[in-house]
Structure 1
Amino acid sequence: MTDLTTLLEVGGPLAALGGGTAYTRAKYPAVYWSAVGGPISTARLLSSYSSVMEACGLTVAPSRLRVLAVKAATRREVRPVPPRRGIIRPTSTGLRLRLRLAPGQEPADVAASAERLRHAWGVHAVYVTTVKPGVVELRLVGYDVLRRVRMPRNTGSGFLKVPVALREDAMPFVRDYQTVPHQLTLGATLSGKSMYLRHLITGLATQPVALVGIDCKRGVELAPFAARLSALATDPDEAAELLPALVKEMEDRYDLIKARQGIAPDTPAEEITSDIWGLPESERPVPVVLFVDEVAELFLTATRKDEERRDEMVTQLIRLAQLGRAAGIYLEVCGQRFGAELGKGATMLRAQLTGRVCHRVNDEASAKMALGDIAPEAVSAACAIAPELPGLAVAGDTSGGWSRIRTPYLSLGNAAEICRESAHLVPDLPALKPFRPDVPVRPTETPAPAVLPHPATD
């Protein structure tokens, strides 16, 4: 009986502690990392840094001066020299430290050993970035941050910058329209493409930007945001009227820029510009972001008349993609399927879309169309996205870089409410007034009186 009591007194708290730790690790990984995982990984890193670097081939032979100094001071063996390690900085998702590379090393050497470092220090992933020549930063991620997305507090948002997702290295994925003016976003049904679109619209809704939508699914995706939209087309016929108006707006802005360039010869060079951002703020037109949902609907035709309309719309989209950046007009093209078989102009339009985001797709050809020309190795990553992970996507651009991202959940009601609250920010663009969507007026509930009236009787 005494042994059983001792076992319960000792084993009970240990079992409760172990169970609580396992539950916290599964349900609250950030808390587990801060309390348990981070200190353990830090201890591993400090105790095994030199041996791990040597095992990964990241050491170099010591200099002659070092050899002489060691032999003069001690009789121990002179070991190879690892990269000099900086201060370890803990974060809510992992660790950061900088390495000063030894002569003859390059960042690619450290990046090639990232998987070995991950196993040696017991973390989820290791990412290597170059800070400056000779210095790299190791970003150690302690757990899978994409399983339950929590956006960091400092997201780097700003004018025409929208933090829409979290990258696999725990950094925010920011959609910067001035750096990447046009983007192609693909995703099958229930892949999270609509959630990505909601974050973009709500992020831009609070900024002085004109939002224009083309939603050929009768407006079911973009109509909830009608209060903040400057124009909305819900079928190909309306899109065929809206696109020429946007092209005309772009041409008018180019005339404004050219008029500014034709000023007196003694004008300072900094006042001469080739885009709207060099214009004085009082003369600068408001930026326009065009959202095209289900772009394949613009390419599909049934009759010869539809083919003529399709060719005109595709030509106008390509013109906007080629010339729109300088005029402050940006494209966000979305769809479930995008390929050369859509017809004339599809490949040419894709070539103008610098940014690429590919959610789960139904065929490899769509993933290749989105990512194959910029990062062929990202195609397999996009095809491996499971249906159980909505919002997970592969993002890349024409620089060749790519990463996995995941969009946090945002309900349609909350997104629509944000657009209604920012409806006063809709800019005045006369060219788009005929296409302004009708915003239904929400019925106001009349509060019931505290005292019910009673009719007077004789």
Structure 2
Amino acid sequence: MTDLVTLAELGSPLVVIGGAAYVRHASPAAYWSTVGLPLSVARLLTSYSSTMDACGLTVEPSRWRALAVRATTRREVRPVPPRRGIIRPTSTGLRMRLRLVPGQEPADVAASAERLRHAWGVYAVHVRDVKPGVVELWLVGFDVLQQVRMPRRSDSRPLQVPVALREDATAFVRDYRTVPHELVLGATLSGKSMYLRNLVTGLAAQPVVLVGIDCKRGVELAPFASRLSALATDPDQAAELLPVLVKEMEDRYDLIKTRQGIAPGTAEELITSDIWGLPEDERPAPLVLFIDEVAELFMVATRKEEERRDEMVTQLIRLAQLGRAAGIYLEVCGQRFGAELGKGATMLRAQLTGRVCHRVNDEASAKMALGDIAPEAVQASCAIAPELPGLAVVGDTSGGWSRIRTPYLSLADAAATCRATAHLAPDLPALNPFRPYVSPLPDVAPGSMATARPVTE
């Protein structure tokens, strides 16, 4: 009996430690909520002043403060750290606001983020500028990109799609009104197709005209044919489709100019320079053009194909330069996009404001995507491991960048979503000749063991 009691006393701590280690590996979110969160809060509260001092985030107190401390407590006057706000726990970490002391700036706190991470035992620390003199620390308790779980709450607005998860546990929202055109690069099996799949299904639930150019015989976009208003599966069809889109853009500009025929006494709110200022009953539906494997549009073998290529590239550049005001947006995907593709490639890339770079095969490809807008992000994109498909680096013209990862979405679920939302596709008569054929679903007898298989992954 004594031996059993001794074994239980010795074994119980081992079982608890082993169980905690297993939960930390199998379910990081559960481990953080039960173990990691209390420990990190305790470390933060007990070591806040000393940690700030070690990170160089304290300043000498003012003369009046020093006199008051000596007069009331008669103790040594210590440097003053930033004033800490209320600690707000979340399912993925902590949030805390700091009021900077005079002489500090947000860059000082951001430079010490790695030290704060180790001092408080969290996975990452992100610094956000809230207002002058106030920053917010986002402490992430675990690697949220290892097992992607999108936030439950997300703003649902027209032409906004929460398509991936950022490394600070917030949703990466693809906002076409803010960033009209985007370039998505990635090698084979890097997760580029999954990003496109989430984007298409997110837009499918909105009254948006979806148009696809997939020169890989349609293997990527054909499963979404029920929701697409037009689909070109080879360069010849693309050469016929692009002039129609340019003509649609010109017609929309004519509509805007009609509204700008300003008469005396016209209210200021009725004067517009894009379709979003038009009355709702006159406003044409926004249009998003998806181009998968854009390099196929640049490939030529004969002189005749070269002339066709130059014409298509010119039309794409026109859409990229002028499409935003007409409500036409581009989503250009490929494995590589540089000057070696041919005339007009660099000019087209310069019009694509948003940049998403998945794992690439060489550093030059990463520089094509991010080198001209966020040079610091090039090395981060080159460090993406093949074991993490869907992981990418996103940047914009402001110079900021962050890591994101797209959640897994099966092709069958994406196709089902497109079929269920097919009735939401706006009617655009000019695109009717290019509408893809949608075959009816086969009838499966009850109890049959046959299962539907997707065309491609």
TM-score range, shorter chain: over 0.9
Q: Structure 1 unaligned runs (5+)?
A: 449-458
Percent identity of paired positions between Structure 1 and Structure 2: 80
Looking at structure 2, the residues matched to 129 and 7 of structure 1 have their Cα atoms a distance apart, in angstroms, of 52
SS in structure 2 at match of 1:184? strand
Residue equivalent to 2:454: none
Aligned CA-pair RMSD? 1.0
Q: Which range moved further: 61-70 or 365-374? A: 61-70
Looking at structure 1, the residues matched to 281 and 356 of structure 2 have their Cα atoms a distance apart, in angstroms, of 35
Looking at structure 2, the residues matched to 186 and 232 of structure 1 have their Cα atoms a distance apart, in angstroms, of 21
Residue equivalent to 1:291: 290
| Cα deviation digits, residues 199-227 of structure 1 (max 9, x gap) | 00000000000000000000000000000
Q: Is the 8 A contact 1:157 1:174 kept in 2?
A: no
Q: CA deviation at 1:443?
A: 2.6
Residue equivalent to 2:452: none
Looking at structure 1, the residues matched to 389 and 66 of structure 2 have their Cα atoms a distance apart, in angstroms, of 57
SS in structure 1 at match of 2:126? strand
**Corresponding position: 1:306 with 2:305:** yes
Pairing 1:225-240 to 2, within 5 Å after superposition: 225-240=224-239
| Cα deviation digits, residues 366-386 of structure 1 (max 9, x gap) | 110000000111011111111
Q: Is the 8 A contact 1:195 1:410 kept in 2?
A: yes
Residue equivalent to 1:172: 171
Looking at structure 1, the residues matched to 443 and 73 of structure 2 have their Cα atoms a distance apart, in angstroms, of 86
Residue equivalent to 2:416: 417
Residue equivalent to 2:343: 344
Residue equivalent to 2:32: 33
Q: Is the 8 A contact 1:211 1:228 kept in 2?
A: yes
Residue equivalent to 1:426: 425
SS in structure 2 at match of 1:228? coil
**Corresponding position: 1:67 with 2:100:** no
Looking at structure 1, the residues matched to 11 and 214 of structure 2 have their Cα atoms a distance apart, in angstroms, of 60
Residue equivalent to 2:406: 407
Residue equivalent to 1:103: 102
| TM-score normalised to structure 1 length | 0.96
Looking at structure 2, the residues matched to 230 and 290 of structure 1 have their Cα atoms a distance apart, in angstroms, of 10
SS in structure 2 at match of 1:227? coil
Letter in 2 for 1:62: P
Looking at structure 2, the residues matched to 282 and 263 of structure 1 have their Cα atoms a distance apart, in angstroms, of 19
Q: Is the 8 A contact 1:374 1:398 kept in 2?
A: yes
SS in structure 2 at match of 1:305? helix
Q: CA deviation at 1:158?
A: 1.7
Looking at structure 1, the residues matched to 6 and 353 of structure 2 have their Cα atoms a distance apart, in angstroms, of 65
SS in structure 2 at match of 1:153? coil
Pairing 1:348-427 to 2, within 5 Å after superposition: 348-427=347-426
Pairing 1:177-188 to 2, within 5 Å after superposition: 177-188=176-187
SS in structure 2 at match of 1:440? coil
Pairing 1:78-117 to 2, within 5 Å after superposition: 78-117=77-116
Residue equivalent to 2:326: 327
Q: Is the 8 A contact 1:358 1:370 kept in 2?
A: yes
Looking at structure 1, the residues matched to 417 and 4 of structure 2 have their Cα atoms a distance apart, in angstroms, of 60
Aligned length: 447
Q: CA deviation at 1:18?
A: 1.2
- Report which of the two structures shows the higher radius of gyration computed on alpha carbons: 1
| Cα deviation digits, residues 275-313 of structure 1 (max 9, x gap) | 000000000000000000000000000000000000000
Looking at structure 2, the residues matched to 146 and 351 of structure 1 have their Cα atoms a distance apart, in angstroms, of 30
Looking at structure 2, the residues matched to 143 and 212 of structure 1 have their Cα atoms a distance apart, in angstroms, of 39
Letter in 2 for 1:345: G
Residue equivalent to 1:453: none
Q: CA deviation at 1:336?
A: 1.0
SS in structure 1 at match of 2:337? coil
Distance verdict in 2 for CA 1:278–1:15, change over 3 Å = same
Looking at structure 2, the residues matched to 277 and 15 of structure 1 have their Cα atoms a distance apart, in angstroms, of 64
Q: CA deviation at 1:426?
A: 1.2
Q: CA deviation at 1:157?
A: 3.0
Looking at structure 1, the residues matched to 170 and 95 of structure 2 have their Cα atoms a distance apart, in angstroms, of 12
Looking at structure 1, the residues matched to 262 and 445 of structure 2 have their Cα atoms a distance apart, in angstroms, of 60
Looking at structure 2, the residues matched to 334 and 323 of structure 1 have their Cα atoms a distance apart, in angstroms, of 20
Residue equivalent to 1:444: 443
Q: CA deviation at 1:173?
A: 0.4
Residue equivalent to 1:151: 150
Runs of 4+ in 1 over 4 A off after TM superposition: 445-448
Letter in 2 for 1:175: R
Letter in 1 for 2:260: Q
Looking at structure 2, the residues matched to 142 and 371 of structure 1 have their Cα atoms a distance apart, in angstroms, of 28
Q: Is the 8 A contact 1:155 1:172 kept in 2?
A: yes
Residue equivalent to 1:456: none
Looking at structure 2, the residues matched to 157 and 314 of structure 1 have their Cα atoms a distance apart, in angstroms, of 34
Residue equivalent to 1:194: 193
Looking at structure 1, the residues matched to 207 and 38 of structure 2 have their Cα atoms a distance apart, in angstroms, of 45
Q: CA deviation at 1:263?
A: 3.2
Q: CA deviation at 1:6?
A: 2.9
SS in structure 2 at match of 1:443? coil
Letter in 1 for 2:249: M
Residue equivalent to 2:223: 224
Q: Structure 2 unaligned runs (5+)?
A: 448-457
Distance verdict in 2 for CA 1:95–1:436, change over 3 Å = same
Q: Is the 8 A contact 1:185 1:356 kept in 2?
A: yes
Looking at structure 1, the residues matched to 445 and 43 of structure 2 have their Cα atoms a distance apart, in angstroms, of 65
SS in structure 1 at match of 2:309? helix
Q: Is the 8 A contact 1:164 1:196 kept in 2?
A: yes
Letter in 2 for 1:241: E
Q: CA deviation at 1:51?
A: 0.6
Residue equivalent to 2:162: 163
Looking at structure 1, the residues matched to 446 and 395 of structure 2 have their Cα atoms a distance apart, in angstroms, of 53
Q: CA deviation at 1:447?
A: 6.5
**Corresponding position: 1:16 with 2:9:** no
Letter in 2 for 1:188: A
Looking at structure 1, the residues matched to 353 and 282 of structure 2 have their Cα atoms a distance apart, in angstroms, of 28
Q: CA deviation at 1:444?
A: 3.3
Residue equivalent to 1:139: 138
